[in-house]
Amino acid sequence: MAARRPKVCIDRILPSEMMRLQRTMRGPAGRVRAISPIGKAWMNGSTLRVKFMGGTSAQQRTVREQADWWSQHANLKFDFNNAANAEIRIAFDASDGAWSYVGTDCRGIALNEPTMNLGFLDGGTAAHEFGHTIGLAHEHQNPAGGIKWNEAAVIREMKKSPNFWDEQTTRHNILRKYSVDQVNGTQVDPDSVMLYFFPSSWTANGIGTKANDELSSIDKEFIAGAKMYPKTGTTPTDAPELKVNAKTRTKASIGTAGEEDLYRFVAKADGRYVIDTAGPTDMYMKLFGPTSRTALVAEDDDSGTDTNARITADLIAGNYFVQVRHYNRTAGKGNYTIKVRKM
């Protein structure tokens, strides 16, 4: 009986210079916090369109079923309309393994190229790849630890068929852990669909992992949670408008930790805009646009005064969305104000 061979998925994270994110600039009173690559989540409430680039009807049915595992819990919809400019484009090249770009990185890929490949579809593979597509990373790279690699064994095994990976590729895709401040995460979840099977001989402590073919309870909780896609969020259609350079700041309050507010504003001309919050509440802010509700422009945690958020960005004219969320470091709620200025 042949040993079960690990099928290793590559989550394709674009190099930083190719990311559409802008770095938040240092504010006058600000602490600087680098934009985290985990800012790859789509705007909460998004409908992501999906185009199949091949695949049998049975394969496509499996993909639809497993994508739905996520949308049952996350505030996201998948529209399998095969639009030419769909955000998610799925190929079924059996010689190319299984992989996906992560979250909003999909927008940086040419429209005639796939953002996901499903070279195999056994178990929960489609669910795993959709996990990447909606912004999740590999559980085995969780910085909270868990797996103590036997690095020499992993590098040796991955050089063999069917992977033929060189040491650098193995280090990047398996051994390297995401640093803690790059990741919004849970403790390592041994039941996560984002974990892959690794044999015990690959670990220093002889403890392997099992492949998981369905979403774990923590997967469901995390994707529906405050940092990802809570169903309690405001939808884009009822977002109130912030007037640029309004005389007074817009007052609002967040009722519960993790709740989010959504605003829109119109940048009538190209230029530098500053969006900031003020008040005692620890705020986390994301800017999406132009026009698109799914393209993240920038995000910020604590660049504003105290724990407030501030984004300074050079924008082209268009409609933008600002999502504000209580950061949930401590329980509670709070009042805040928000304002958009053109410099």
Give the binding site for Zn ion (CB under 5 A): 9, 11
- What whole-number distance in Å separates Cα of residue 325 and Cα of residue 113? 34
Quick one: 139 or 260, whose CB is closer to Zn ion? 139
Widest Cα–Cα separation across the chain: 74
- What whole-number distance in Å separates Cα of residue 32 and Cα of residue 191? 35
Quick one: 157 or 300, whose CB is closer to Zn ion? 157
Tokens 């680098």, located at residue: 34
What letters, b where the CB count within 10 A reaches 16 and e where it falls short, cover 77-97? ebebeeeeebbbbbbbeeeeb
Distance of closest approach, residue 52 Cβ to Zn ion, in angstroms? 20
Quick one: 176 or 272, whose CB is closer to Zn ion? 176
Tokens 């769909």, located at residue: 86
Phi-psi region of 107 (alpha: psi -120 to 50; beta: other; left: phi over 0): alpha
- What whole-number distance in Å separates Cα of residue 11 and Cα of residue 14? 10
Distance of closest approach, residue 76 Cβ to Zn ion, in angstroms? 18
Distance of closest approach, residue 9 Cβ to Zn ion, in angstroms? 3
Distance of closest approach, residue 212 Cβ to Zn ion, in angstroms? 12
Q: Which single residue brings its beta carbon nearest to Zn ion?
A: 9
Distance of closest approach, residue 11 Cβ to Zn ion, in angstroms? 5
Quick one: 9 or 278, whose CB is closer to Zn ion? 9
Quick one: 11 or 300, whose CB is closer to Zn ion? 11
Task: For the beta carbon of residue 145, count every other beta carbon within 10 angstroms.
Answer: 9
